[in-house]
Chain A
């Protein structure tokens, strides 16, 4: 049964929602008193860190909570109908007709044993549409999500499609029946920046076409600010602030929102100036219910009242509400960290610490050669941070691994302090091994679950620094202190520590042998935003104290810009651009860098037009002729780009570029386009 869209009922209305999970006989409250509504054609963002309950909200709406979860109170209405009280038949109808849902990890969301065609037509056949009509409808809907060759896609199995393509198929299935509500739960996490941008644009466009209400769940405020009109901030299961996106992001009225926004690098702030701030303390355990405000323990503005009386959601202006007793003073929240830090400058007069000379690596995949790295030549100076940026297939991981000796390059050399490094780790001396260390992305897998912190660090001290006994004991304490790890954690196992604490242990381990360079491979991507800021600050401080160099890999351009002195941009195994952070970000820069920057959604938005790149990232097994970027370049000059690969040239002082277009011409073009926005 379909209701006409002109009905006065909101597409989604949630009132006083309480959701609990039963764990070992006890009910733990995951969502408390949550209320918001979304009209047709409107998009609402739900933002929060891990454990805040945003995914639970989505599951509650479609009544797909796990077996130990249930709605204890409140109402959820879609198009005016209460969802919780539906019979199973009615629930099925609702899921088929009124709600569409798109999740993270598109590969897992498609059945690996069934062809795409069958999975898409199923959306129609469950409502009784005949097979032949369903097939035509399926083809149509794939066209609408801008899939160029729908018949070929319909015929394939999920594993034969790329991640971006898979997500498009899922979006198509979700929107196929013109539902009233579309729920997206981190739909682009894990996708490359340029692919993400295209998917987000697609969602934007489709929302307009279908006039669907959109609930967009994400931890990424930049994406939310780009995609949504209104936003709700969830903290520990409660909605602490809600309002129009501009209002909440530029005039936040809850200390948590204020703190959160300060954790994110914005508008070109750098590590020495306009530093990231942190939120002290830890997220409360699930189901914890202190008497007063749930954020009081971590709030520097907290008063007696905050700990005894729970604040209600008070309206500030039209549509903007906050759950704080002192919301007018929220912006006065004192900083945890100093805004300025004196950092030593990098001395470029001395010889570089590390040199890559024409580094190349070819892998064999199914008989085909894959050029993961080609002709990479670069240097890193002592104490500097070189940011490494690129999408999947760019070669940045391979480059880091070649440096460390985990991967043996096919051509070229790596030099450390004027001595050529043995290509394989096993052949390197202990000095060389201790000089180059790494901090991994995932703190859960980076530490041995069965070893205590003490054992982990002592082992590193023994192997890398050659310390045992009393000397080791002392260094251990110093190390823990330097990463701000309380001494009482010394006999804990990783499972007992939070993500941020684990990462501190991992950092301490890397620094045990007084390294000269530490590779940071997405060190904060697996952490919550508030924890991320603390870790980044720690890395900066350690660098200031010990003059260690960083090779910093991240897909988060904001973080890279914040932290790096120089930035290298890679594409399909080749260096496209290398220069100081200001110049690479500010311009004039390589067309790929330009497109990459325009693809990343930022909170401050604006400033540059979205550059749509054509096609998908080419396969490294079959790279394009001439310039590797020419198949998608929006500034492609002409035939020369097809034929001839541009060399990496120094176009300005300290700025290298691989492009046929001269730098002055690039500057002119890019300035012209920026003005036109």
Chain B
């Protein structure tokens, strides 16, 4: 297992490097120049040139990249072009907020979707299966901003059960914060539900058809025991791998959700940075998101290797 993890970690580092290149270059695609864009059309060429030089934008690209990356590694994410404060000081608390929201979404979504998928598999091709499959299909198809708005209308406005913003007043207790986060978390959940439920369903069906399940039944083991002890642990293994990859999607959804609910998370930061053409903020924000994703997949890999005896122990038979 150690070897497996070491390899995954190494690969993650390489991916991280490539990620940083992508993040950096997508912001550098500007055909014009940053100075002109920031200062506007009426600024004098000299002003633009001075501005550019100040930001080091006249250096060759790879030097800029090198400097950026080395600063980033040290925790210095640069200075926001718009707000003139360190990017880190803005992104830090934003990231924390987003993680709270994402964590809640995960906590709600994952158990529900696994339950849904497994139930559908156990009642394969019967009514429950079709109902769950169609529901999850429909939910996956509705863009999160639509679900968010519908949820707001129903629960926030019509029924007035939940608040329509996500940010609890400062100093609120734990449960109050959760109350505020419920609606956006749900909006995120609903889209993810379909994908995870489908994976869980497929994995369970495959396990149900397997030879080892037959062996268990023919030993005289009862149905619930077979499912509990034999089927589930094999069906959920691929699902775990999939869940990690959904973090990427989840974070993307944050941009839209946080806008609708006016929630000061990293998604909103990026949105605002884009609107303000605040490239330093944008680059660093994107890279931070990438790092979060890589960490999530690494955790999933660890979980997978612990749970899969083939990987944990290695040693195929002679």
Contacts and interface: CB of A to CB of B under 8 A. Distances in A.
Interface of A: 62, 64, 92-97, 99, 101, 103, 105, 108-114, 122-123, 126-127, 157, 159-162, 165, 170, 173, 366, 616, 618-619, 621-622
Contacts of B317: 159-162, 165
Interface residues of B, number: 28
Given A92-B222, A97-B220, A103 B318 contact: no
A114 B217 contact: no
Nearest to A173: B219
B313 A160 contact: yes
Contacts of B316: 159-160
A621 B317 CA distance: 12
A122 B308 contact: no
B234 interface: yes
A622 B318 CA distance: 10
Contacts of A162: 317-318
Interface string B211-250: 1101111111110010001100110010000000000000
Nearest to A617: B318
10 contacts: A92-B220, A92-B222, A108-B212, A111-B212, A111-B234, A112-B310, A113-B307, A114-B233, A159-B317, A162-B317
Contact of A110 (B212, B217, B308, B314): B212
B234 A64 contact: no
Contacts of B233: 113-114
A109 B211 contact: yes
Across the A-B interface, the 6 shortest Cβ-Cβ residue pairs: A96-B220, A619-B318, A108-B211, A111-B212, A95-B220, A157-B309
A11 to B, nearest CB: 17
Contacts of B219: 95-96, 122-123, 126, 173
A159 B310 contact: yes
Contacts of A109: 211-212, 214-215
Contacts of A616: 318
B6 to A, nearest CB: 14
A618 B318 CA distance: 8
Nearest to B314: A366
B210 interface: yes
Contacts of B212: 108-112
B41 interface: no
Contacts of B220: 92-97, 123, 126-127
A98 to B, nearest CB: 9
Given A108-B211, A160-B316, A619-B318, A64 B218 contact: yes
Given A92-B221, A92-B222, A126-B225, 17 more contacts: A64-B214, A97-B220, A103-B215, A108-B210, A108-B212, A111-B212, A112-B234, A113-B307, A113-B308, A114-B229, A114-B233, A122-B221, A126-B219, A126-B220, A159-B316, A173-B219, A616-B318
Nearest to A101: B218
B315 interface: yes
Interface in B191-211: 210-211
A467 to B, nearest CB: 46
A530 to B, nearest CB: 28
| A95, A105, A112: residue with the most chain B Cβ atoms closer than 10 Å | A112
Interface string B278-309: 00000000000000000000000000000111
Contact of B217 (A64, A159, A619, A621): A64
A393 B215 CA distance: 29
A356 to B, nearest CB: 27
Nearest to B310: A159
A162 B220 CA distance: 26
A95 B220 CA distance: 5
Contacts of A157: 309-310, 313
B218 A95 contact: yes
B309 A103 contact: no
Contacts of B216: 111, 122
A105 B215 CA distance: 12
A160 B315 contact: yes
| A92, A111, A159, A622: residue with the most chain B Cβ atoms closer than 10 Å | A111
A126 B222 contact: yes
Given A157-B313, A159-B316, A160-B316, A111 B218 contact: no
A101 B214 CA distance: 10
A114 B230 contact: yes
A109 to B, nearest CB: 4
Contacts of B234: 111-113
A6 B95 CA distance: 76
Contacts of A101: 218
Nearest to A164: B317
Contacts of B217: 64, 95
A114 B307 CA distance: 11
| B220, B230, B314: residue with the most chain A Cβ atoms closer than 10 Å | B220
Contacts of B214: 64, 103, 109
Contacts of B309: 112-113, 157, 159
A103 B315 CA distance: 25
A99 B316 CA distance: 31
A95 B218 CA distance: 6
Contacts of A126: 219-222, 225
Contacts of B230: 111, 114
Contacts of A161: 317
Contacts of A94: 220
B4 to A, nearest CB: 12
A616 B317 CA distance: 12
A676 to B, nearest CB: 35
A93 B220 CA distance: 6
Contacts of B313: 157, 160
A266 to B, nearest CB: 34
B228 to A, nearest CB: 12
A108 B215 CA distance: 10
A467 B315 CA distance: 51
Nearest to B215: A109
B216 to A, nearest CB: 7
Nearest to B307: A113
A170 B217 CA distance: 14
Nearest to B309: A157
| B219, B229, B307: residue with the most chain A Cβ atoms closer than 10 Å | B219
Nearest to B223: A88
A105 B318 CA distance: 17
A550 to B, nearest CB: 32
A612 B63 CA distance: 73
A109 B225 CA distance: 17
Contact of B211 (A97, A105, A123, A159): A105
Contacts of A173: 215, 219
Nearest to A99: B218
A164 to B, nearest CB: 10
A391 to B, nearest CB: 13
A179 to B, nearest CB: 10
A113 B216 CA distance: 13
| A93, A112, A113, A161: residue with the most chain B Cβ atoms closer than 10 Å | A113
Contacts of A97: 220
B286 to A, nearest CB: 39
Nearest to B308: A113
Nearest to B231: A111
B211 A103 contact: yes
Contacts of A92: 220-222
Nearest to B214: A64
B307 to A, nearest CB: 8
Nearest to A106: B211
B239 to A, nearest CB: 14
A309 B218 CA distance: 40
Contacts of A114: 229-230, 233
| B210, B230, B237, B318: residue with the most chain A Cβ atoms closer than 10 Å | B318
A170 B218 CA distance: 12
Contacts of A93: 220
Contacts of A64: 214, 217-218
B213 to A, nearest CB: 8
Nearest to A105: B211
